[in-house]
Chains A and B, each alone.
Chain A
Amino acid sequence: MKRSLFGRLWPNVTAVVLFIGCVFPVYWMFATAFKPTGDIISEDPVWFPTDVTLEHFRTATDADHFWTFVTNSLTVTVLAVVFSLIIALAGSFALARMRFKGRRGFVVGFMVAQMAPWEVMIIAMYMIVRDASMLNSLVPLTAFYMMMILPFTILTLRGFVAAVPRELEEAAMVDGCTRVQAFRRVILPLLAPGLMSTSMFGFITAWNELPLVLVLNKDIEAQTLPLWLTSFQSVFGNDWGATMAASSLFAIPILILFVFLQRRAVSGLTAGAVKG
């Protein structure tokens, strides 16, 4: 009797401990961001903030060039995602619905491209961009981010296109649509969820990117949020309240996206990661 109670109890106790372990760093970021400075630098941590202040968020948003970084990050990320979606849509349609010589080769090629070691290629990318006199510009950044997420976008969309029943497309063509019209009127609307979750992961990758912008854009006017966040400490010293407020501001869009699309994202991912 005692043993079965233990047997029922330990998974739940472990789960609670793990849950706290997973959530605590995220919670602590938000908690610190909202705490008055006195509660942050106290000898014993204040686990649950009672006084809430927006002071740290003001410090972060009033920081020099904050809005420039936000605009830059949004511009670069959104453009990269949109361009890669457009390019990937064409390619994934071909890969999912057409039979042609070398199809398998293309798929494998994109799989290799997906694993590209971008972190290690920054020296070469710096030289290319410098020789083109495009340092401190958002254009090369957008182009490379687009490329970073393109293979993933193609391969994922290929799965979504393949999942749209071919009969629907055929029916549309029997009804007099051309192939392009059938694609636009039948497949595209059905692809919307796939486009959403695919673009979400592209967004996260581009939003997070640090090594390339670190090397390419020394000019503060052309920098993005990740770079600002990593240099925040050197600017604000040990002002952890402001640092955590800045981190929260940076993380919130991603967390919202993830939670909003979480179900679909996780099921889509798992459907992809596991042979079912």
Chain B
Amino acid sequence: MTVQTERPPSGPVDVVKPGGPDSGGPGPRAAARLGAFAPYLLLLPACAATVLLLGWPLLKDVLLSFQNLNMAQLIQHVTEWNGVDNYKEVLTGEDFWRVTLRSILFTAANVVLIMVLGTLVGLLLARLGRRMRVTLMIGLVLAWAMPVVAATTVYQWLFAQRFGVVNWVLDKLGWHSMADYSWTSSQMSTFFVVTVLIVWMSIPFVAINLYAATTTIPGELYEAAALDGAGAWRSFTTVTLPFLRPFLYATTFLEIIWVFKAFVQVFTINGGGPDRLTEILPVYAYIEGVGNQHYGMGAAIAVLTILILLALTAYYLRIVLKQEEDEL
């Protein structure tokens, strides 16, 4: 689902000084000592869970990537360290680079489509009358709410070779060779279906948030622009766009990260096929590691993918943190 990475609703973050007259408790000194530890105690369960359930798998992934771990070693429970062999094999092989390039192109195409279309829909929302806007919002929310796994089965049905609606429409439009077209038979057509699915699922998030952002632009700015003789296009480029820029930056990075690890959509539509031609990095790691039972290799691919994602995340967080400096 595409709603994991929201910033919390902004509001004044008031700070209560621990140990002050307002902290209650028995004696002032005991209270002060308790007050100093209280925040850490309150955060302890969350931190423990993070270390155990997130930190450990990450560390384990790194450790596995330095091991020769195939089916035999897995069954016999033996640990064979093999240094950087996995990395050497992955990085000198052709496959990894081909899949990486494919992942980058796939992500770029999707994110460009999502951002451009999402922005246009968002601006359209701002332009519509109230009734029409609510109607379109309902449609967007419905597409947004659709669970990923259900959406992928529906798209398989829409693009089905026999009795699929898409093929029927193309046939009726005069494209008769498409009447019985199998969308999963080639690399490009599979990517096309996955892209339509991802763009369909992702536009609502961008559009609705962008619309909300435009409502926060002070009207005086437009009035001032109009007084200065700015037309519709000029007031868009000088008022709307600069105002939305931080939001657009942050959203673009979120979408890059989300699309880059779009395992479920790619895997369920065609399993990375045909002939492993639509594997993107997370799917490649899974198929090499779990599918072909080269767990060490798979872990090495996973570590490399995680490094790419970490770099993207660091950049994203820098944008976000710069915006909310005052709120932290």
Contact = CB atoms under 8 A, between A and B. Distances in A.
Contact of A205 (B4, B56, B285, B298): B4
A1 interface: no
Nearest to A125: B57
Interface string B291-322: 00001001100100110010001001100110
Contacts of B316: 115
B144 interface: yes
A227 to B, nearest CB: 9
A254 B25 CA distance: 44
Nearest to A22: B139
Interface in A233-251: 233, 238, 240, 243-244, 246-248, 250-251
Describe B's contact surface by its main secondary structure. helix
Main secondary structure on A side of the interface with B:
helix
A19 B124 CA distance: 12
B162 A23 contact: no
B64 A98 contact: no
B324 interface: yes
B11 A12 contact: no
A240 B247 contact: no
B290 A123 contact: yes
Contacts of B208: 266, 269-270
B153 A12 contact: no
B101 to A, nearest CB: 18
A273 interface: yes
B25 A123 contact: no
A232 B268 CA distance: 11
Interface stretch (B91-99, B107-115, B127-135, B219-227): B127-135
A34 interface: no
Contacts of A114: 4-5
Contact of A15 (B57, B124, B285): B124
A250 B24 contact: no
A59 to B, nearest CB: 15
B165 A258 contact: no
Nearest to A244: B157
Contact of B153 (A23, A45, A151, A233): A233
Nearest to A170: B22
Contacts of B268: 210, 230
B160 A240 contact: yes
A93 B44 CA distance: 12
Contacts of B12: 162-163
Interface of B: 1, 3-18, 22-25, 35-36, 38-40, 42-43, 45-47, 49-50, 53-54, 56-58, 60-61, 64, 121, 124, 127-129, 132-133, 135-158, 160, 162-163, 165, 168, 200, 204, 208-209, 212-213, 216, 246-247, 251, 257, 261, 263-264, 267-268, 281-282, 285-286, 289-290, 295, 298-299, 302, 305-306, 309, 313, 316-317, 320-321, 323-324, 328
22 contacts: A22-B142, A22-B200, A25-B154, A26-B142, A26-B154, A44-B168, A87-B49, A94-B40, A109-B50, A116-B54, A119-B261, A123-B290, A124-B58, A150-B50, A162-B13, A166-B16, A240-B163, A255-B145, A258-B144, A259-B145, A270-B212, A273-B247
Given A15-B133, A23-B139, A156-B9, 14 more contacts: A25-B155, A97-B15, A100-B18, A110-B50, A123-B61, A123-B302, A152-B6, A157-B8, A226-B149, A246-B153, A266-B137, A269-B6, A272-B10, A273-B6
Interface of A: 11-12, 14-15, 18-23, 25-26, 28-29, 32, 40-42, 44-45, 87-88, 90-91, 93-100, 103-104, 106-117, 119-128, 143-144, 146-147, 149-152, 154-160, 162-163, 166, 170, 173, 177-179, 201, 204-205, 207-208, 210-211, 215, 225-226, 229-230, 232-233, 238, 240, 243-244, 246-248, 250-251, 254-255, 257-259, 262, 266, 268-276
